[in-house]
Copies of this chain bind each other. A is one copy, B any other.
Amino acid sequence: MNRLEKALNEAAATLVLEVERLLPETELPEARVVAAMRYATLNGGKRLRPFLVLTTAALFNVARQSASRAAAAIEFVHCYSLIHDDLPAMDNDDLRRGLPTCHRAYDEATAILAGDALLTKAFEVLGGAPTHPDPQVRADLVVALAEAAGHQGMVGGQMIDMLAATRPMDIPAITRLQRMKTGRLIAFSCVAGPILGKAHPMQRQALEAYAHDLGLVFQITDDLLDLEASAEEMGKKTGKDAEQGKATFVSLLGADRARAQAKALGDQAIQHLESFGNSEPAELLRDTVRYVLERRN
């Protein structure tokens, strides 16, 4: 196992422990929604966002508890968005990470509520005293997450994506859509560390720029995999973009130019990390770019 795989596994283990701490099973009458929240957060996934939080936090020697709570909060938001995106009224997916989607494992009403409760929980965790001794840091995290996840960010991006099949989209429009839909939450994953560590604004900006490029690389490789990989490899349905007639980087540029574009963005992402030297977390962030460029699922 290489250095990055080891760090990803460690991040996943940290995340699972933190979720167990923040969201234990219950026998109260509302147990069903808590079980659905746990189902959606504890069944795997790459844990890329928690890994980015923990790794960027390590650049600034942030306390473990602070970093792992922030990692859990971001994963809650990511998982809520997957639950709601998978609903029949949205993407209508039956399979996620090789398992039934939340509304298939439970039911639609429970899935809607579980998503709502995970989003709410994220803010409870970030705002809570154990996340950081300085309340200004906690308030900053809350606002930054809300801006990344709300109508200006992830939800707005999802809205545009729902309309995309019926609208002509060019490269600038798709870039904006993807920055909103996935880029801003990935960016928040990389700035939670500098916020917690009270880093210099230039360092925060460098990590945000890194994250924006990484997010686009991730999206382009996702589009390529949607075109080229099997549902079995991906643990979810593939070939959906073409089926829905959605414009993507790949449909507009063609696979070869899209691949070259991803490579160029990846190089640029790595350049943003120059000021962080050769520390272990900085090297892991560089490895991440190469890993996303080469991923097969």
A163→B32 contact, CB < 8 A = yes
A155→B120 contact, CB < 8 A = yes
Note all chain B residues with C-beta closer than 8 A to A160: 29-30
A127→B146 contact, CB < 8 A = yes
A109→B90 contact, CB < 8 A = yes
Query: Which of A120, A123, A142, A160 has the most chain B CB atoms closer than 10 A to its own CB?
Result: A120
- In Å, the complex CA distance between A84 and B112 comes to 8
Contacts A135-B136, A146-B121 given; indicate if A159 touches B33 (C-beta within 8 A).
Answer: yes
B124→A150 contact, CB < 8 A = yes
Q: How far in angstroms is the closest Cβ of chain B from A180?
A: 7
CB closest residue in chain B, given A145: B123
A99 located at the interface, meaning its Cβ lies under 8 Å from any Cβ of chain B in the complex: no
Known A120-B146, A128-B143; further 11 A-B contacts with Cβ < 8 A = A29-B163, A29-B176, A30-B155, A30-B157, A30-B180, A33-B155, A33-B159, A89-B108, A110-B159, A124-B147, A139-B142
Note all chain B residues with C-beta closer than 8 A to A115: 116
- In Å, the complex CA distance between A160 and B129 comes to 29
A98 located at the interface, meaning its Cβ lies under 8 Å from any Cβ of chain B in the complex: no
- In Å, the complex CA distance between A84 and B147 comes to 21
